[in-house]
Copies of this chain bind each other. A is one copy, B any other.
Amino acid sequence: MFGIMEKEIAVSALAALAQETRLDVFRLLVRSGPEGLSPGRVAQLLELPPATLSFHLKELRSAGLIICQREGRSRIYRPDFEAVNRLLGFLTESCCQGIPAESRAAAS
């Protein structure tokens, strides 16, 4: 499953998550599960101005980490879980040689 990610794609996924607001948005979407959330709801929960949120959603989307779908007058954003898994695969493969994981699986 989950093929290995290209370095270029990994860099853009890392960059997308390497920003506090964006990481907050992404984690919120992850917590909200496959139902996803509308920008309005995200803006409300994280107290972000719409333009700012829209900018960050676009970044996450062009990094391939989230998916968007129209829903009437609104939209629904959801995490792309496979993309995160590919990123984890990339990091595990290319940044962990020597010391493998164990401990990481099934925490919290």
A52 at the interface (CB under 8 A from B): no
**Which residues between 84 and 103 of chain A lie within 8 Å of chain B, taking CB atoms?**
84-85, 87-89, 91-103
Known: A7-B23, A26-B95, A27-B95. A85 touches B101 (CB 8 A): yes
Complex interface: chain B residues within 8 A of A99 (CB): 81-82, 85
A70 at the interface (CB under 8 A from B): no
Size class of the contact patch on chain A:
35 or more
Protomer copies: 2
A75 at the interface (CB under 8 A from B): no
Residue contacts A-B, CB under 8 angstroms, 21 given = A1-B103, A7-B20, A8-B20, A11-B18, A11-B23, A14-B14, A14-B15, A14-B18, A17-B91, A18-B18, A30-B95, A30-B97, A31-B97, A33-B97, A81-B96, A84-B96, A88-B91, A89-B104, A89-B107, A91-B91, A100-B106
> Nearest CB to that of A2 among chain B residues?
B103
